[in-house]
Amino acid sequence: MPDLTIETTPIPGLLVVRLDLREDARGFFKENWQREKMVALGLPDFGPVQNNVSFNAHRGTTRGIHTEPWDKFISVANGRIFGAWVDMREGESFGATFHVEVDPSVAVFVPRGVGNSYQTLEDGVAYTYLVNEHWRPATAYPALNLADETVAIPWPIPLSESEISEKDLATPSLADVTPMAPKKTLIVGALGQLGRALQADFPEADLVDLAELDLTDATAVAAWPWHEYALVLNAAAYTAVDAAETTEGRRTCWAANAAAPATLARLADEHGFTLVHYSSEYVFDGTVPEHTEDEPVSPLGVYAQAKAAGDLAVATARRHYVLRTSWVIGEGNNFVRTMKRLAEQGVSPEVVSDQVGRLTFTGELARATRHLLDSRAPFGTYHCSNGGPAMSWADIASAVFELCGRSADDVRPITTEQYAVGKTLAPRPASSTMSLAKLASTGFVPVDAATALRDYVTGSAPTDG
């Protein structure tokens, strides 16, 4: 009895699946599509949403070469076909070909952008295929002439003796085909400090902010062409921690930090894109010295609660990364720049000394994002900050003062309780320090926070993206 196996081909991503076909006097049985087993063997978890059957009455029926903008998993319910594929994607493999005879014991995974065609070798063949996007009327896609001399497909039955549609007879040659571009990347919240840093690592991404796409507007979300994207980076967030405790702020915070990520998680599964979402150490109450990814969330304030809800929502998407980070420093006004300005102005500030964590420069967060995607790290939640020992806000301020030529003693440490006198503040976790072990297990080496801080203050490296 044959085992289920998967074979690679000269076309990147095109896979031949040898099925476990069980035959007896009555006929045969096969698991034509078995997600758990096939994904474990290396088939992409492509999320089929539609099953089609093309019945071909006569031997010699020839269809193609069609390059639909979705993945396909093709097989036959009976009979035999000669299947042929041509890579129509942008890149070095454009024009590469592969062909194989397909009977009920064989299936083929055809990635988006690879031209698909077949010729029936018997009468009455039922050709079946799964696709991971619903068919859309008027969808345009490249097509290639079946007789193109460049790819020279060795059809078993001469095309002059085959049944071919008028449409397929009129398709262009390879020289006249516009290669299919890959799906795109979308950065949501592109004008924020993290969104700007991400642009350096994802220079070809489409960029949107609230003015172009409001994720709380159902009409705008429904009109957006989500099927064009393979990757969505959600850098949008409500970050006014104290204002989130007000009536208006609470509603805005929950809409941006909980409802919008939930919408993106639903869209990620519906359209098959990978979702990267950025969260915060505020999802923890700060009562343990170092937070790990599997620690139960225990948010203190409204901002923290909304971020925790967003984490849980994004985790429902099949293809997701949640990057929890702490004390983010990027373009625009931030704590480090404030301390530098005060040092240069001769001011000696009071700074909280009983909140401990690590800085995260936005360039480091963007670099970690690129690493997780490029290394195809397992989906899930990762903690990300710059490396090195944990520091208090007062420690960081003192380091900035020293870098500016001032004495560290010019920064006066105070407690959170002392700082809060006369102010209305949201609760903060006392410990914002996160374990970086899981991220390190993927091969990512964080830049030491003290080194990044020095470079940021002295302007010797673009650590803020």
With DSSP H G I counted as helix, E B as strand and the rest as coil, what are the percentages for the chain, rounded to 5? Answer: 30, 25, 45
User: Which residues does 382 contact at the CB level (< 8 Å), separation at least 6?
Assistant: 293, 321, 322, 323, 324, 368, 372, 438, 439, 442
Which of the residues are catalytic? 66, 129
CA-based nearest residue to 401, from 349, 354, 448, 358:
349
Asked if 372 and 442 count as a contact pair (C-beta separation under 8 A), the reply is yes
8 Å CB contact between 151 and 86: yes
Residue 366 DSSP SS3: helix
Whole-angstrom distance, CA of residue 208 vs CA of residue 215: 11
103 φ, ψ to 5°?
-125, -175
Query: What are phi and psi for residue 69, nearest 5 degrees?
Result: -85, 50
Q: Which of 431, 119, 175, 394 is nearest to 285 (CA)?
A: 431
Cα(419)–Cα(441) distance, integer angstroms: 38
CA 282 to CA 192: how far, in whole Å? 19
Quote the CA–CA distance of 203 and 199 in Å, as a whole number. Answer: 5
Q: Tokens 């039955």 map to which residue?
A: 157
Q: How far apart are CA 407 and CA 399, in angstroms?
A: 9
Secondary structure E strands in 337-402: 350-352, 356-357, 360-361, 380-383, 391-392
Residue type, 37: K
* Residue recorded with tokens 């990757």: 231
Q: CB neighbours of 341 closer than 8 A, spacing ≥ 6?
A: none
Query: For 42-178, where are the E strands, in sequence order?
Result: 50-56, 62-66, 72-76, 81-87, 97-102, 106-110, 114-120, 125-131
Tokens 């203190």 appear where? 300
- Is the CB of residue 331 less than 8 Å from the CB of residue 191? no
DSSP string, 109-125: EE-TTEEEEEEESSSSE
